[in-house]
Amino acid sequence: MKVQGVFLVAIYYLAFTQLVKGQPQPREACQTRCGDVAIEYPFGISSGCYYPGDDSFNITCKEDRPYVLGDTEVENFNHSGQLQVRLNRSVTCYDEQENLNRFEYSNITLANLSLSANTKFTLVGCNALAILAAFGMKNYTTGCISTCTSPPEVNGKCNGAGCCRSDVSFPLDSYRFQAVPDRISIVPSMHQYNRCTYAFLVEDGMFNFYATEDLKNLRNARDFPVVLDWSIGKQTCEQVGNTSICGANSECFNSTRGIGYNCKCFEGFEGNPYLPVGCQDINECTNPIHKHNCMDPDTCRNKDGGFDCKCQSGYRLDTFNMSCKRKDFGWAIIILGTTTGFLVILLGVCFTKQRLRRRKDTEVRQKFFEKNGGRILIQRLSEAGTSNFDVKIFTEEGMKEATNGYDESRILGQGGQGTVYKGILPDKSIVAIKKARLGDCSQVDQFISEVCMLSKINHRNVVKILGCCLETEYPLLVYEFITNGTLSDHLHGSLFDSSLTWEHRLRIAIEVAGTLAYLHSSASIPIIHRDVKTDNILLDENLTAKVADFGASKLIPMDKEQLTTMVRGTLGYLDPEYYNTGLLNEKSDVYSFGVVLMELLSGQKALSFDRPETSKHLVSYFASAKKENRLHEIIDGQVMNEENQREIQETARIALECTRLMGEERPMMKEVAAELEALRVKKIKHQWSDQYPEEIEHLLGRHIFSAQGVTNSRGYDSINNEAMSDIEAGR
């Protein structure tokens, strides 16, 4: 016999025919019990005793058992909107010859009731399929499959072997379900277990599967407990307003079914909230279930919705253990007075300590201000006039706010010259705040001189100093914020891809060389940077170079060509002559710039332990490659092409001249700047002469762009980064 298909049946959805106005109540002399079960409104037995217009509340009492919807037995009522009933199972059985000899399916219409969300659709049997199909608010189908390849465990879980279950996740108000065994795939040894298969709905937790008993006859159980949800009408509490049937001392709440509403008594009341005076006050003083917590029962006084523990005169209630204790006014006054006095003294001490702390903080800030040269700076400003200095003195509090309390997330970089933070000033402008380190008090005067001098530098390729704060242990310097990282970041890929073209690199070299030439030759007092390196060359959004970090810089008096100082700088960029003698002059910056130029050409770091022993220092690596005529091997592959080979060779020659061992053999910085600028001018002349040869020759002359001619006949304007041609006709 072939397995029969699953039949879906039409479901008739019943609804209210009209809204009952006012607050309908049951008539007098209604039957209120059926056997041992109390029947309470809105449910009732016979017409006029249940909520009108909805037969879902009509209870039939047969043989002292209540039934709803005709033949569904009721076990328990709940005022909060739940009804516990027993629903029949579905069963399909076959005889030993595999012929269908029993078939029962369950089909029910719940009208205005619906299955609760904690209902499980369950199948018991081997190699069978159970399907539940429903029509109602929405069509809905669910089911599960149970298989058996061997006898299930005696106390096995309902996990698909002999038993399966499925959640009923949609509120159902009518349904049909049945179990269909697959007789073809039944294992012969399983005949003793699976002659019948069963499908049923059951409340979660109310059925435990036992294989040896349940697979044979389901322990002769014909129905199972299920919770149904019910509610009043189809409107929410907000929609019905004060026309709900909720009585006095009760409140309305929306049904979990998604339609209608239910009622519940206020806290401290009990009874039937659907009757006008159904909710009565609970007397906690005498009620054994809702009991008071007064230590002495004689002190309990009932009130609407609660109770009080009333102590007699002269006693007070100890709320910790709800007991009455004798009042002691004398001790109370003493304790109150003592507590008040103690609080006054405590507040006075705190206020005094706070004032002392503020005074101490002020003294400490003043001490640091003096130590870091604040008085000297103010004197310099007053002598020269504030218009000559573009520098602002910031407060310690302002610096704390700008750096969010020197938060670690604001750190931009750290080095031997100090720590640099990202700061946000009150006007929302972004600045870089550097915590400088002074070696000793003898450096204060020089530090202030350097701040004043740097504040007057107005060069487009120098990071501008905006001001300083001297109220901290180490002075803070405030600079303009450059957004695009350092040249080292771009060359070595720590933050950015190494995408600088040769044109970018040549222009950056010219800008840095022009800046150093200006500091050495054009500043009112010559300045030696002393720490020129790619980490101290910043790039803005247009890749314009900005020389930064003058923390190691030195001012050279007009009457001296060099200074004897403690050696400062960075390994890889440090002038070997300065390192050995301690004698500092502008040629030390020339050497460091030569190393930067080599980095621009090769894209490699100044000092790398990954290179051979004799080539760890980029200068040695570069010199040996030049000597062995293999310079092309170390030039960055993404910058060299057929058009710029001569420019790169000339730039490499300049870099090697800058890094000669003896300082006197190195060129001056302004000479380096002029030669680099000449390379760019030649490139421009070559590009223009291809298009306008006659005009260029007429305007600039035939030999003006020769390398020797530029070196001998050009000056250099470092402020504007321009080579100034000495054209004979213009002299």
Q: Is 690 a catalytic residue?
A: no
CA distance 633 to 616: 16
Which amino acid makes up residue 63?
A: E
Give the DSSP letter of residue 661.
S
Cβ atoms of residues 317 and 333 within 8 Å: no
Q: In this structure, what token pair is assigned to residue 71? A: 């033949």
Residues 6+ positions from 430 with CB-CB distance below 8 Å: 422, 423, 424, 481
Q: Which of 531, 575, 589, 636 is catalytic?
A: 531
The Cα-based distances of 341 to 330, 333, 338 in angstroms read: 17, 12, 5
Helix and strand tally (H, E) in the chain? 15, 40
> Omega of the bond prior to 42 within 30 degrees of 0, cis?
yes
What DSSP element (H or E) covers 626?
helix 618-627
Which amino acid makes up residue 253?
A: F
**Main-chain dihedrals φ then ψ at residue 730, nearest 5 degrees:** -100, 0
Cβ–Cβ contacts within 10 Å for residue 163, how many? 26
For 544-548, which contacts have Cβ atoms below 8 Å and span 24 or more sequence positions? 544/460, 544/461, 544/511, 545/461, 545/487, 545/507, 545/508, 545/511, 545/512, 545/515, 546/461, 546/462, 546/463, 546/482, 547/461, 547/462, 547/463, 547/512, 547/515, 547/516, 548/462, 548/463, 548/479, 548/482
Cβ atoms of residues 92 and 102 within 8 Å: yes
Query: Among 412, 499, 428, 504, which residue's Cα sits nearest to residue 463?
Result: 412
**Main-chain dihedrals φ then ψ at residue 518, nearest 5 degrees:** -65, -45
Query: Among 34, 60, 56, 58, which residue's Cα sits nearest to residue 48?
Result: 58
What DSSP element (H or E) covers 101?
strand 100-104
Q: At what angle do helices 502-517 and 645-658 cross, to 10 degrees?
A: 30
Which amino acid makes up residue 344?
A: V
Is the torsion defined by CA of 221, 222, 226, 232 positive or negative? negative
First-to-last CA distance in the chain?
A: 120
Residues 6+ positions from 595 with CB-CB distance below 8 Å: 533, 572, 573, 606, 618, 619, 655, 659
DSSP 169-184: -S--SEEEEEEEE-ST
Q: Label residue 322 left, alpha or beta by phi (over 0 means left) and psi (-120 to 50 means alpha).
A: left
Cβ–Cβ contacts within 10 Å for residue 443, how many? 13
Q: At what angle do helices 693-700 and 669-691 cross, to 10 degrees?
A: 140
Cβ atoms of residues 158 and 202 within 8 Å: no
Cβ atoms of residues 547 and 571 within 8 Å: no
Q: In this structure, what token pair is assigned to residue 577? A: 């002559």
- Active site residue ranges: 531
